[in-house]
Structure 1
Amino acid sequence: MLIDSMAMAPGERVEAIREVIWSSVVRVEITHQSDPRLIRTAGVISRVGPLTVCSVRANATAVRRTPALTRDDMEPSVFVGLQVTGSSVVVQDGREAVLRPGDLALYDTTRPYTLLNRNGIHQHYFRIPRSELSLPSKLLDLATAVPFSRRDPLTDLTAACLRRIARQQARPAVSPAHDFQAAGRPCIELLRALIAARLGDHRTVCQAADETMHLQVMDYVRAHLGDHDLTPAGVAAYHHVSLRQLYKILSRHGVHLGEWVRSQRLERCRAELADPRAEHRSIAAVAYRWGFPNAAHFSRAFKRAFGITPSDWRALHAGSGGSPRALNP
C-alpha cells in the first residue's frame, strides 16, 4: 500500500492518512505540526512474513497511542523504529529514547506511547506480534523506549537486516513477494538476540546467537565479496568456529557457502554491468572487483547463471539509465 499526501485533496489529508495508518498499521492519534495544505507524507506499507513494514517520510508530527486505544482488539505487538535520517524521540513506561540515524528503539502496543518527530519523520517501522518474539513479558517490557545504538555491532547487524527488508519492500518488482516472505524470520531472531544481550538474559542470548549465526556469517561474507582471499577457513576463524561447525550451521539453513558466494558475486557483477555509472570499467575489471580473477571463467559462469554473456547484458542496458533495451539483430 502506498501513501502519498500529494495525491489527496488538502482538506482530506489528515483524515485520509489517519485512516490508512489505523487500518493497516496501528490505531494512533496523529498531530500534524503544519497547515493541512502543507502536509507532506509519503510511504509504503507491506507485509513480509510476520512483519508489517511501514517506511515513511513526513512533516513534523506527534504520534500517540492513548490509553483508550490500547484497549482495541489488535494483537499485542511490538514496534521497532529504525531511524533513517534526522532524529526522533520514543516515550513509553517512563523512559525516553532519542534516536539518531541507524539507531533502533522498541515500543509496545499494549501500553500508551508517544513518538515525537519535531523535524519530520524519516523512519522504517516494523510491527511484530509479541508471540513471534518468544521472549518473557518481563524481559520485553524492560526493552521499551531504550535506545539501541548503531555503534553496537549487534544493533548494526539487526538494523542492516531490517533496512534491507524495508528497501526491498519498496521495490517489489526486483524480488517477487513469494521469494521474500521468509526474510522476516531471520530479522526477528536477530532482534531477539539484541534484546536479550542488552538486558543480560544470557540463556536467551546463547539460544538466539546460535539461531542467528548464519545471518552473521552471511552478512560478513556480503561485506567481503570483493576479497580475493575470502575462504571458508577464514570465515570460520573470524566467527570463532571450526570449519566443520561453519558448514553445519549454514547447511541447517540450506546454504552451501561456495555456491552462495559465487551467486552473490555474480549478482554484484550483473548489477554493476547494468549501471551506466560503471560503463567506463571493462568487463574484466568489474569481474576482478567482485572476486573473479579469470575473465574467461567469469564469462562462462555469468552465461550459465543468467543465460546471456556479460557483454550482451551490458549492451542491453547501455545508454538507457539502467533500463534494458533490445539488442541489435
Structure 2
Amino acid sequence: MPYILNTDEVDERERAEFVHEALGSTMVPIELHWPGHHRSVDARGIITDLGDLTVCSGRTTALRVERTPALARDSTEPSIFINVQRSGSSIVVQHDQEAVLQPGELVMYDSTSPYTLLNDMGMSGYFFRIPHSALGIPHDMIRTACAVVLRPGHPVTSLAHDYLSRLAADPALTTAVNADFIGHPSIELIRAVITIHLRADEFAAEPLAATLQLRILEYARKHLHDPDLSVEQIAAAHHISVRHLYKVLARSEISLSDWIRTRRLEACRHALAATPAAVTIGAIARRHGFSDMSSFSRAFRAEYGISPGEWRRR
C-alpha cells in the first residue's frame, strides 16, 4: 500500500517532526531545514515500494535536505537515490562534487555518504531509492557517478527520464495488481543510465553476474526471519538454478545453510541480551527464523558453548 504524506492532517507545531519521521521510515533518515516559522512547514507526497524499488513523488517547502555524516553511518540499508527534476532547478552536493539539475535531467546520490540537496523554491520532484545489492554496481563506481548530471541528452537518459516521470506521476501504475513486477525492469533501466554515464561498457554487459553473490547473501539477510527460507526460494528470486547458486557461493567457500544459521544465531544472541525477560526465548527464536526450540537450543550451545537461558542470565 502506498504511504500518503500530507501535513494538512497534522498540527502545525508537529509538522516538522512528522515529516522527519515519515521520510526516515519510508526513504532514509535525513535532516530538513524549513523557512521561518513552523507554519511554513508543508509536505505532500506518495511513497510506494515496488519490490526493491521505492518510488516517491512529492514536494515540500524545505529549502535544504541533509544526510549528515552521523546519519550516513547509521544502520539503514545502503542505497542510491535517483532524483528526476520536474521543474525549476536544484542542487545536489556529495563527495566534493556539485550538480545543478535542470528539468529533464537525472542525478544520483548515495545514502552511505553525507549529501545536501538545495532548492530555494522548496524540494520537489520524483525520487527513486534502490539498495546497492539490487543495483549491482560496485561502490567505487557508485561514488564516481554521484552528484553528477547523468549524461544529459543521451537517448537512454531521455528514455529513463520520461519513463520514471510517468511511473512516479501515475498512481494507477504503482497500485495496479502485480505492480511489484515493475521494480526489476525499472532498476535495469537505471543501471543502464549509470553505466552509460560511466562508459563502463564491459561492466554494463554483465553487472548482475558480477554482483550475484552479494545479492544472494543480501536477499538471505533480509529474509532471515522467515522460517521457510530455502535455497529454492533464493535461487528463484535471482532467476537462477539451485545448482548455479551453490556454484557461485562455492567460489568464496560459503555454505548457505551455515551462513544463514550463524546470522540467525547472532541476531538471537543480541536479542536475548536486549529484550525484557517477559519475552520468552522461544518467541525470540521464532522471530529470527527458528521454528523448533530444541534445534535452536542445540545450535546455540554448539556456537557459543552455553544455552540460550544461560546467556540471557549472564
TM-score by length of 2: 0.62
Aligned amino acid, residue 72 of structure 1: D
Aligned to 1:68, what secondary structure does the other structure show?
helix
Q: Residues 160-189 of structure 1, C-alpha deviation per residue, up to 9 Å, x if partnerless? A: 222222123x346xx754321111111111
Aligned-pair distance for 1:111? 0.5
Q: Residues 236-284 of structure 1, C-alpha deviation per residue, up to 9 Å, x if partnerless? A: xxxxxxxxxxxxxxxxxxxxxxxxxxxxxxxxxxxxxxxxxxxxxxxxx
- State the match for 2:57 in structure 1: 55
Contact 2:32 2:62 in 1 (8 A): no
Aligned: 1:182 with 2:181: yes
Q: Residues 64-105 of structure 1, C-alpha deviation per residue, up to 9 Å, x if partnerless? A: 111111111111100111111111110000100111112111
CA distance in 1, matches of 2:74, 2:62: 26
CA distance in 1, matches of 2:204, 2:26: 32
Q: 1:176 to 1:76 in 2, by over 3 A?
A: closer
CA distance in 1, matches of 2:152, 2:121: 21
Of 25, 28, 52, which aligns to 1:26? Answer: 28
Q: 1:17 to 1:60 in 2, by over 3 A?
A: closer
- State the match for 2:164 in structure 1: 162
Of 8, 13, 25, which aligns to 2:15? Answer: 13
Q: Residues 149-169 of structure 1, C-alpha deviation per residue, up to 9 Å, x if partnerless? A: 55221111112222222123x
Aligned to 1:73, what secondary structure does the other structure show?
coil
**Any stretches of 5+ residues in structure 2 without a counterpart?**
208-314
CA distance in 2, matches of 1:9, 1:112: 31
Aligned-pair distance for 1:129? 0.2
CA distance in 1, matches of 2:152, 2:179: 25
- State the match for 1:3 in structure 2: 5
- State the match for 1:72 in structure 2: 74
Aligned-pair distance for 1:52? 1.2
Q: 1:144 to 1:160 in 2, by over 3 A?
A: same
Aligned-pair distance for 1:54? 1.3
- State the match for 1:198 in structure 2: 197
Contact 1:22 1:28 in 2 (8 A): yes
RMSD, matched Cα: 2.1
Aligned residue pairs, count:
207
CA distance in 2, matches of 1:176, 1:45: 11
TM-score by length of 1: 0.59
CA distance in 2, matches of 1:47, 1:13: 24
Of 141, 144, 155, which aligns to 1:142? Answer: 144
Of 12, 33, 41, which aligns to 1:39? Answer: 41
**Any stretches of 5+ residues in structure 1 without a counterpart?**
209-329
- State the match for 2:92 in structure 1: 90
Contact 2:55 2:129 in 1 (8 A): yes
CA distance in 2, matches of 1:180, 1:150: 29
Matches within 5 A, 1:267-286: none
- State the match for 1:103 in structure 2: 105
- State the match for 1:281 in structure 2: none
Q: Could you say which structure has the greater relative contact order, defined with CA pairs below 8 angstroms and 6 or more residues apart?
A: 2
Contact 2:31 2:66 in 1 (8 A): yes
CA distance in 1, matches of 2:164, 2:47: 14
Aligned to 1:191, what secondary structure does the other structure show?
helix
Aligned amino acid, residue 91 of structure 1: V
Percent identity over the alignment is: 39
Contact 1:107 1:113 in 2 (8 A): yes
Aligned amino acid, residue 198 of structure 2: L
Q: Once structures 1 and 2 are overlaid, which stretch shifts more, 101-110 or 54-63?
A: 54-63
CA distance in 2, matches of 1:135, 1:85: 29
CA distance in 1, matches of 2:87, 2:175: 28
Aligned amino acid, residue 184 of structure 2: R
Q: 1:176 to 1:91 in 2, by over 3 A?
A: closer
